[in-house]
Structure 1
Amino acid sequence: MSDPFSLKESVLVYLDRSGCLEKLSEDCKQYNDPQQDEAVYRFCLSINPSDIIEVDPELGDFVLHDPLKATKLFQSVCFLAIKTLSLLEKIHTESQVNVILKYTHLPPFPEYTLDLCTFPRGNGLLKPVIVEGLVIAMTRVTKYTQGARFLCINEDCTCSTGYYHIRVHVPGATESATVRNDFSCKICNSQLKEDMKLRALGDKQLVELVPYKALNLLRGNQQPSLRYQSVTLFLRDELCNSMEIGHSYKVLGIPAHVHQWPHITWSIEANNIQSWEPESKISGTFQELLNTTVCSPWRFCAIAAHCFGLHISPPGLYNTLKLCLLLSLVQTTSDLKEMFHGLDILVCTNDSLILDRYINTKVNFNFYFIQLQNM
């Protein structure tokens, strides 16, 4: 293992090459307001794991497999940079620098992709992973404690003033892990009390994510005996309100075991969020039909409507209804705001049985995203 000084040197080299050092300088300017006094100063740094591996493979291993240790290294280097360059005079101790590492992506290997259909097992280090799924529920935005300052009640102790005892939120920690009344001084072992005037608050939101395969249960066909379980995502600060119910997302996050005695809850702290669309698979025969009838704007539609639901009614009947049901499935835009507004259909009939069967057949097709442009 390399010595800490060598690792910190590699961190500084990466910060300089990636432009994070310049961003750190810009972020310090917003805290230079003389009327603004805080105990903890938060800095978000976007990091590319691949670039870090090129600078120092060992540092890259920490970034990919031990995020807490990597954050500690970046925190130490950022503090030294701030003090050396005199970027922010309000910072007196390293603990006041709260560094958040935002991963741009992860290596495209299976071990960094988490399948929500397979519950993770093991008690090893919780490394960043990518999860894909559908949002089914979310809470309103609430507050949580980003960081707090504690003072020693022993007036003769050096920690009775200053910024020696700072606690900040880490992935997987509960509110009581950041703010409690039973912390003790690391020098004289006296009780610590919080300086309530300098508590830093942030936004928090909880989101329930399920695997996209869970939608197969809505098809109405006989399904295998599988159990789909959702996972709770913690969105914090700038990530709040970045997801919507019913939309699919690819989330880069850090799994964590939240200890709430006597229970242990498994959740994921979101680190980066991207919109995601499941891959649509069109059969070769269907694609060949589309290529053959591309010369006419209506021939493909007529053949598709004619073949739709042949097991329900004889060919040639309900063609208008079948065409409307098929049109309600087609999406011709990639705009996420418009993808969830389908075609509304009003049907008046005396034979509700046939209509019900056609609608059930149409529901089975809802899980295939057929992109038909310029029909």
Structure 2
Amino acid sequence: MEECFTDSLIEDAVQFLDVTGNIQRIRDTARKFLSMSKELLVYKFEVVVDAIKLMDLNASLGNLLIFHPSNADALFKKVVCIIIKELGLLLPCISENQITVRTKLTSLPRSRATEVKTYNQLSTCGKGYVCCTGVVVGKTETSKYTQSTQYICTDKSCEGSEENHFIRIHVPGALEIETIRKDFKCRFCGQILEEVVSCRHLSDKMMAEVIPESYLKCNNLSRFKQQIITLLLRDELTVALKIGQKYTFIGIVRKDSSSDRIITAIEVNNALEDYVSECTSIPKSIEVYCKYKRKYNLPKMLAYVFGDQICPPGTYMKLKLSCLLSLASASQTQVQHVHVLAIGRDTEILHRLLQYSVQFTNRSLVFSSGNHLVSKVIPDRYNSSSYLIEGGTLLLASDGICYLGDVSKFKKQTFEKLQSALSSGKVLIDIDSKFTKGLAVSIEQPLKCSVWAYTDKLHQSRLKEEFFGDGETSSVLRALSEGFSIVQIIDGDELSHSEEVDFHTSYQTLKMSMEEAENSFHFPVSFNDIEKYLKHSQNLQVKMSSEAEKLLHRYYLATRKARNLSNGSIITSSALSALISMAEGHARLCLKSYVEEEDALEVILLYEESLTAMFGPSVLSVPPLPHIPGDLIDDYLDNQKNRSVLQRFKARLQQFGDLHPGHEE
């Protein structure tokens, strides 16, 4: 194979390695080998190739790499050996068959021949590289394979019994039997070779399953099983792979037999975390408002018109605003996501409103009794290890929304798993002892999604009594308040409050139908406009101003001290992170690059309303107002009047902080 490489092709490869910094990388690797105190059997070098850049620089070399990977690997190995020999990077006694070169691709041109979107496409792929972008939905336990080993001739008088003539190294696409076998023959005398078992080097491998992200938008988990694409990962690629994370995988297609079936999979060359965000512009309707109509507060104005086909504008305002803050915070760079719980009697409206809201994120999963909240561990269907982990709703909704529905219907075990994930910010995958052949183990992954839910079982009329009690309901309430970033209680204390809500709903409906131009608030914004606006706001990088950070921190310390009980504060340590995330979300909704004091005040006011509805008033005197009556809506949305309200609230907040000083951390 090596003899077919022309001098010009070898020169092109050397030039490419030089301009891309690979020759320096080879020098650095060789220097590390020389600094070791012992000799190695195999010396591993890595050539990093941007295939798109290579195609621009040299089309013939690029085509060789993409469509004939094994030939390209042989070419790069030949070139690396030449470089090592000419520059004297390794000891002269090291032979070429002790050197292995891995070609690592960082990109691949996308075309019909190289891009895989469905499992059926694998059967039509050739021997070249392909790429597949998708979300990891399952992975097996890591198992071992032989990366390299040494054979010698059993005839001591034969040349093959000395030195390193027979070294077997795994190459992409090869089976284990091609590395380890008992019928290899000596090329000098024809005798059967014997493996030097002490020289066998093992490494990790893993099977994984991915699907395109488009199947994880408001879909049931059982619907995409037939769309799963199987992957085979080796070495360091097995370490960082996370269930629920989106990757672009580059590799070659291989076929393996397992029991009575053929498994077609992609043997992965490289896995790149896919953080490419859509470049979206501000919709025209929002842009016009930002330029000419700054009379109204933008986030509140959007909450006013949000979901108006489900409930009239003005109703469920605080729940809508909480959902918008959560959506604006659902970015891939967000450390702490905003979890929302709605409590109210009219669960039909709550369900429809939350289900409508989850449509505005790229990835959203709805939990149901047929799915698993965290994961499901089953025997490995690929016969490569002991078990396979199938990701549950919380894991697969990463960087999106996990909508749980009515949490009051959860079983105790499911509720405890949810509570653990929300309070710790980590998802624990439990592996039973029957799979580990020893003690049960747990695998930990960060919780990277926003969790939304509702319930009707906890009415405010008995909320405080049950929270401060000692019964089972008290622990449930405590868990809910600790886990969710913000809890919106839709109903008031009085039984007649539901009639008042109905009145507001009817009032808004009548007001909209009467077309009173002088009083009506009109803001023409479509579903697509809101979707583009939220995607644009999610991509904004915001920084926290020192004034806003100090205000949030001071409020957190004061309210944690003010609402302290004998068995601990009802304000958890994660509340500060939630407040910061909501403030960043509010700044994004305002299309700002900095979190200002105004954003912090708006979030504190919203959060304090939630606390007052659950646990009673504080000296801040913030009455819960889940719905905005029609006669107050203009004042509520007006920017100038809103700033006046915030300034008065800031003064009360200053007094509140003085009454309950906390230790600055």
Provide TM-score, normalisation by structure 1: 0.83
Residue of structure 1 equivalent to 2:152 = 151
The Cα shift of 1:34 comes to 5.8
- Residues 42-87 of structure 1 deviation map (CA, whole Å, 9 limit, x = unaligned): 1011124456557754433211111111111211222233234332
State the alpha-carbon separation in 2 of the partners of residues 201 and 98 from structure 1. Answer: 15
SS at match of 1:32: helix
Alignment of structure 1 residues 94-113 onto 2, 5 Å: 94-113=96-115
Say whether residues 1:290 and 2:292 are aligned partners. no
Deviation at 1:40, TM superposition (A): 1.4
Q: What is the aligned counterpart of 1:371 among 536, 547, 555?
A: 536
Matched residue, 1:348: 343
Q: Does the C-alpha gap of structure 1 residues 124 and 193 become closer, same or farther in structure 2, counting only changes over 3 Å?
A: same
- The answer to whether the 8 Å contact 2:119/2:229 transfers is no
Cα 1:366–1:80 shift into 2, 3 Å? closer
Give, as a single letter, the amino acid of the residue that structure 1 aligns with 2:270: N
> How does 1:1-375 map onto structure 2 within 5 Å?
3-6=4-7, 7-33=9-35, 35-49=37-51, 52=54, 57-89=59-91, 92-116=94-118, 119-122=121-124, 124-125=126-127, 127-216=128-217, 218=219, 228-260=226-258, 262-277=260-275, 280=278, 287-294=283-290, 296=294, 299-331=297-329, 335=333, 338=335, 341-367=336-362, 370-372=535-537, 373=540, 374=587, 375=590
What amino acid maps onto 2:285 in structure 1? L
One-letter code aligned to 2:209: E
Q: Which stretch has the larger CA shift, 128-137 or 49-58?
A: 49-58
Cα drift, residue 23 of structure 1: 2.1
Relative to structure 1, is the Cα distance of residues 161 and 123 closer, same or farther in structure 2, using a 3 angstrom cutoff? farther
**Inter-partner Cα distance in structure 1 for 2:77 and 2:295:** 61
CA distance in structure 2 between the aligned counterparts of 1:239 and 1:99, rounded to whole angstroms: 17
Distance in 1 between the 2:271 and 2:125 partners? 26
Do the aligned residues in 2 keep the contact of 1:146 with 1:201 (CA within 8 Å)? Answer: yes
Moved more, 47-56 or 181-190: 47-56
Give the SS at the match of 2:315.
coil
Distance in 1, Cα, partners of 2:295 & 2:339: 22
The gaps in structure 2 that reach 5 residues or longer are: 363-530, 541-586, 591-665
Over aligned residue pairs, what C-alpha RMSD do you find? Answer: 3.3
Q: Distance in 2 between matches of 1:34 and 1:364?
A: 56
Displacement of 1:8: 3.1
> Is the CA contact 1:38–1:198 (under 8 Å) kept in the aligned structure 2?
no
Q: Is the 8 A contact 1:209 1:230 kept in 2?
A: yes
What is the SS of the residue equivalent to 1:185? coil
Query: Residue 23 and residue 348 in structure 1: after superposition, are their counterparts in 2 closer, same or farther (change >3 A)?
Result: closer
Q: Tell me if the contact between 1:39 and 1:200 (Cα under 8 Å) persists in the aligned partners.
A: no
Q: For the residues of structure 2 that align with 1:266 and 1:90, how far apart are their CA atoms?
A: 42
- Gap change, CA 1:231 and 1:187, over 3 Å in 2: farther
Alpha-carbon shift at residue 101 of structure 1 (Å): 0.7
Moved more, 44-53 or 242-251: 44-53
For residue 324 of structure 2, give the secondary structure of its aligned residue in structure 1. helix
The superposition leaves residues 236-265 of structure 1 with CA deviations (integer Å, 9 ceiling, x where unpaired) of 334343332222222222332234465332
Deviates more, 1:204-213 or 1:133-142: 133-142
Decide whether aligned partners of structure 1 residues 109 and 309 sit closer, same or farther in structure 2, where only a CA change above 3 A counts. same
**Residues 329, 338 of structure 2: 8 Å contact kept:** no
Distance in 2 of aligned mates of 1:291 and 1:54: 39
AA at the equivalent of 1:11: A
- For 2:360 and 2:305, how far apart are their aligned partners in 1? 14
Identical aligned residues as a percent: 28
Select between 289-298 and 315-324 the one with higher mean Cα deviation: 289-298
Letter in 2 for 1:370: K
| Paired AA for residue 157 in structure 2 | D
One-letter code of the match for 2:193? Answer: L
Comparing 273-282 with 315-324, greater Cα deviation is found at: 273-282
Which AA in structure 1 matches 2:69? P
Task: Find the residue that maps to 1:314 and give its secondary structure.
Answer: coil
Instruction: Name the aligned partner's letter for residue 248 of structure 2.
Output: K
Q: 1:164 to 1:326 in 2, by over 3 A?
A: same
Output the TM-score relative to the length of structure 2: 0.49
- Alignment length, in residue pairs? 366
Alpha-carbon separation, structure 2, partners of 1:254 and 1:102: 12
Partner SS, residue 154 of structure 1: coil
Structure 1 residue 324: Cα displacement: 1.5
Distance verdict in 2 for CA 1:226–1:197, change over 3 Å: closer
Instruction: Tell me the CA shift for residue 88 of structure 1.
Output: 1.6
What letter corresponds to residue 103 of structure 1 in structure 2?
L
Question: Would you tell me which structure has more helix in proportion to its own residues?
Answer: 2
CA contact (8 A) 1:40 1:200 kept: no
Deviation at 1:151, TM superposition (A): 1.2
Most deviating of 286-295 and 71-80: 286-295
| Structure-1 separation of matches of 2:53 and 2:33 | 29
- RCO higher in structure (CA 8 A, sep ≥6): 1
* Partner secondary structure for residue 317 of structure 1: coil
Cα distance in 2 for partners of 1:329, 1:129 equals 34
Residues 1:195 and 1:332: Cα distance change in structure 2 (over 3 Å): same
Q: Distance in 2 between matches of 1:264 and 1:91?
A: 44
